[in-house]
Each structure stands twice: as structure tokens, then as C-alpha cells.
């Protein structure tokens, strides 16, 4: 099957995933995590991307970021791999590809989905049963977004800033979404649409993206699509909860 072209629109946030080849470990020791964290920070500054949320897992990592140039995400991922892969190969005396293939990414509606996707990313270690709570996992942006711990990688999005008039108010409102949780329908939709590179958003938002880029932003609807109805309900619930 031919690969879908990426949605490249500066100023719109995207959810990005890069996995290890055949789910092999890409991060083994603390030094590896710090090395990847540092290269991501370097690349974000160099290629004009704001990172809003992240999680570094042993066999993959997630980013939520806004590029400010059309080639920003591609250059960021290329730069990171150029330094990180040789580091891992040399450190563990391995050869061959480290990544599963090209990274996966989906553009999303910031007003409706930036906060849910941020929460989805930061609870990755909880769903993987590594920890019981998001604040117990060291290698994510939860501490920055929810607790105010300084993290040089993070640049808050305006949607996050709108959660309150002060840092304390924003952090309190952000933590509240973890109390409410994300529905299984919304989690499944985030996964499916990111893997297939479809735009995450409601019909109005997707239509606006289609008009901008003159290409389909979502799969063709099928009659009686129960999953689509479930997603619309989940999206409405998420939007009501977070706003």
C-alpha cells in the first residue's frame, strides 16, 4: 500500500511516534534517556518546533509538538536519529536499523484534542503497567505540565496557557483531566488515526484542513459506522470535560 503523504502545516500541533524495529529496546540505561532527551531539545530549537508533551519508553517515544516551518518535524526526526542511532549502536555494539520505519504522525485540532493527546502521551507508562500513576514515571512531560517542574524540552501551547491565569491554576486544571481519564473509544481513535496518518479532529476541522491542502484528511465514511459514532461521543465528552 502506498504511503500517505504527511500533513505539513506550520502552526498546527502533531502527535508523533517513533518505535524500535520489531519492538526492540531503544533505551536501556539512564544515559540513553538523557542522550535522546538532549538531542530532541537540540533539534526542536534548530528546526523551530515547540514540544508540548512527550514520553520516552524503552522501545518507543511519543511527541506532541507544533512545527513553525513546513519541514520542521521531518528535520527534527532526521537530526535526532542521525545522532541517537550511532550512539546506541556504538554503546551496545550493534548494527543495523534501530527504527521500525519512518515515524508516524498526525495533525490534530488543538482546541479539542491537544489536551487529551497530551494526557494520552503522559499516561503511556501507566497503560503499559510500568507505574500506577503518571507522576511516578520520570521520562515524560507530566511533571512539567501537571506539577510545574522545570523541563527545558517543554514549550506550553496557548491552549494549555488558557487553562488558568497563573501557573498554579493551569497545573491544577491540567491534573483534573487525569482524574476524569480518557475513554477507551478516544484512546483507540488516537492510536488508529496516528498510525494511519489521518487528521484528528471533528468534521468541521477536518474539512478546513482538506480545503487548505486539497486532499482528504479522514477516511471515507461508511454507512452505519458504529466506531465513528462512538468517537464523536468520546470527542464531545472530552471537549466538555476539558473546557
Biggest alpha carbon–alpha carbon distance for the chain: 53
Q: Residue 199: which domain range?
A: 14-242
Tens of pLDDT, residues 26-62? 999 999 999 999 999 999 999 999 999 999 999 999 9
Domain annotation covers residue 2: no
Whether the per-residue pLDDT at 88 is higher than 80: the answer is yes
Domain annotation covers residue 82: yes
With bands split at pLDDT 50, 70 and 90, how would you rate the model's confidence at 216?
Answer: confident
Predicted TM-score (pTM) above 0.85: yes
Concatenated DSSP letters for 72-139? HHHHHHHHHHHHHHHHHHHHTT--S--BSSS-EEEEB-HHHHHHHHHHHHHTHHHHTTS-SSGGG-SS
The Cα 195–Cα 200 span in angstroms is: 11
Whether the per-residue pLDDT at 132 is higher than 90: the answer is yes
The Cα 74–Cα 47 span in angstroms is: 9
Domain annotation covers residue 7: no
User: What average pLDDT does this structure show over 61-90?
Assistant: 96
Domain annotation covers residue 124: yes
Comparing 54 with 193, which gets the higher pLDDT? 54
- Count up the domains in the chain and report the number: 1
CATH number, domain with residue 202: 3.30.70.1290
The Cα 181–Cα 116 span in angstroms is: 9
Contact 19, 55 (CB under 8 A): no
User: What average pLDDT does this structure show over 176-185?
Assistant: 85
Domain annotation covers residue 87: yes
Domain annotation covers residue 111: yes
pLDDT at 55: 98
pLDDT at 224: 47
Whether the per-residue pLDDT at 80 is higher than 60: the answer is yes
Domain annotation covers residue 4: no
Q: Provide the CA 127 distance to its chain's centre, in angstroms.
A: 15
Domain annotation covers residue 68: yes
Amino acid at each position: 500500500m502506498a504511503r500517505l503523504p504527511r500533513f505539513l502545516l506550520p502552526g498546527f500541533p502533531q502527535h508523533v511516534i517513533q518505535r524500535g524495529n520489531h519492538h526492540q529496546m531503544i533505551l536501556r540505561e539512564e544515559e540513553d534517556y538523557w542522550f535522546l532527551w538532549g538531542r530532541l531539545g537540540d533539534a526542536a530549537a534548530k528546526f523551530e518546533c515547540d514540544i508540548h508533551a512527550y514520553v520516552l519508553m524503552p522501545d518507543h517515544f511519543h511527541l506532541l509538538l507544533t512545527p513553525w516551518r513546513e519541514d520542521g518535524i521531518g528535520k527534527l526526526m532526521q537530526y535526532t536519529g542521525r545522532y541517537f542511532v550511532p550512539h546506541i549502536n556504538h554503546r551496545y555494539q550493534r548494527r543495523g536499523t534501530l527504527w521500525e520505519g519512518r515515524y508516524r504522525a498526525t495533525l490534530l485540532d488543538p482546541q479539542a484534542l491537544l489536551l487529551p493527546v497530551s494526557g494520552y502521551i503522559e499516561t503511556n507508562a501507566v497503560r503499559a503497567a510500568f507505574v500506577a500513576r503518571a507522576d511516578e514515571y520520570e521520562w515524560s512531560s507530566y511533571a512539567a505540565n501537571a506539577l510545574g517542574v522545570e523541563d527545558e524540552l517543554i514549550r506550553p501551547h496557548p491552549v494549555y496557557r488558557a487553562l488558568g491565569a497563573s501557573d498554579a491554576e493551569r497545573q491544577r486544571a491540567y491534573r483534573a483531566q487525569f482524574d476524569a481519564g480518557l475513554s477507551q473509544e478516544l484512546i483507540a481513535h488516537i492510536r488508529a488515526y496516528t498510525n494511519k496518518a489521518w487528521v484528528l479532529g471533528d468534521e468541521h476541522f477536518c474539512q478546513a484542513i482538506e480545503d487548505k491542502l486539497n486532499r482528504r484528511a479522514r477516511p471515507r465514511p461508511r454507512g452505519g459506522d458504529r466506531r465513528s459514532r462512538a468517537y464523536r461521543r468520546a470527542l464531545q465528552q472530552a471537549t466538555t470535560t476539558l473546557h
